[in-house]
Amino acid sequence: MMAVAGSRMLKDGELVLVGSGLPMVATILAKYTHAPNLVIMTEAGVYDAQPLHLPFCVADARFSFNNPWMGTPIELLGHILQTKRIDVGFLGGAQVDKYGNLNSTCVGDYFHPHKRFEGSGGAADFAAMANRTIIIMSHEKRRFVDEVDFITSPGWRCSKFPDNKKVFREELGLWGGPVAVVSTMGIMKFHPETRVMYVDAYFDDLGVTLEEIKENTGFDIYTSKAVPCTPPTYAELELLRTRIDPEGIYMRYTPLTAAAK
């Protein structure tokens, strides 16, 4: 459901910079369904990807099959992203807070972390300069927090150097911003004035309740306007299971290759 919900947020003809994992799955699904002219790009330099098979990561050679141009990170993150031509940055992460700040760097103190991750890669650039950002990640209390341990990718309200004062992103000269967080439980969006996260839709077809979302969120999240999310169609599920991710690399189902044995 996460991949389907994420794919439906993409529009035909848009330029999308994708991160590894479910952002790739959702973007490819959109291209196979309602957005055939979607331009899939990666920080590795891929432009207008036409993958026949699901790439393992953004630098996988399968992403460069039949694409019209192979650039460099400087060209993608510099010449194109910094000139406001990227419509969507599609990211995952370890933590997200109520303002959409994303952490893919570490858990705990930066200099003495409990765990260090691989971030940021291009994630900071995506979130700072894409015209809008979509985040996709598992919904757990330890992941949806009041304040992230480290801001890898800026959301709506973040720290200003050097005094770490919290300001809205516009004061830092940043445009765009996160428009949605797609989780294992539903779709979160941000209030247009306060910029605080709220529940827009929940996956009731998976048995998710609003109470469960509250219990698994590390801050008080507004749920009163939430509606059930439209379930995936048969066509969307068939594409995911037979064409996009038949081996179940990112999707949670019994792979068709395994079921056939």
Active site amino acids: 43
Burial of 161-183, coded b for 16+ CB within 10 Å and e otherwise, reads eeeeeeeebeeeebebbbebbbb
Distance between CA atoms of residues 65 and 206, nearest Å: 35
Alpha carbon distance 17, 43 (integer Å): 7
d(CA 38, CA 225): 31
Which of 10, 18, 14 is CA-nearest to residue 42? 18
CA–CA distance, 16 with 35 (Å, rounded to integer): 12
| Strand 197-202, strand 186-190: pairing | antiparallel
∠ CA 75-137-113 to the nearest 5 degrees?
Answer: 85
Residue partners of 65: CB distance under 8 A and separation at least 6: 49, 50, 51, 52
State how far the Cα of 33 lies from the Cα of 246, in Å rounded to an integer.
17
Question: DSSP assignment, residue 63?
Answer: G
Determine how β-strand 132-136 pairs with β-strand 144-145. Answer: unpaired
In angstroms, rounded to a whole number, what is the distance separating the alpha carbons of residues 244 and 250? Answer: 10
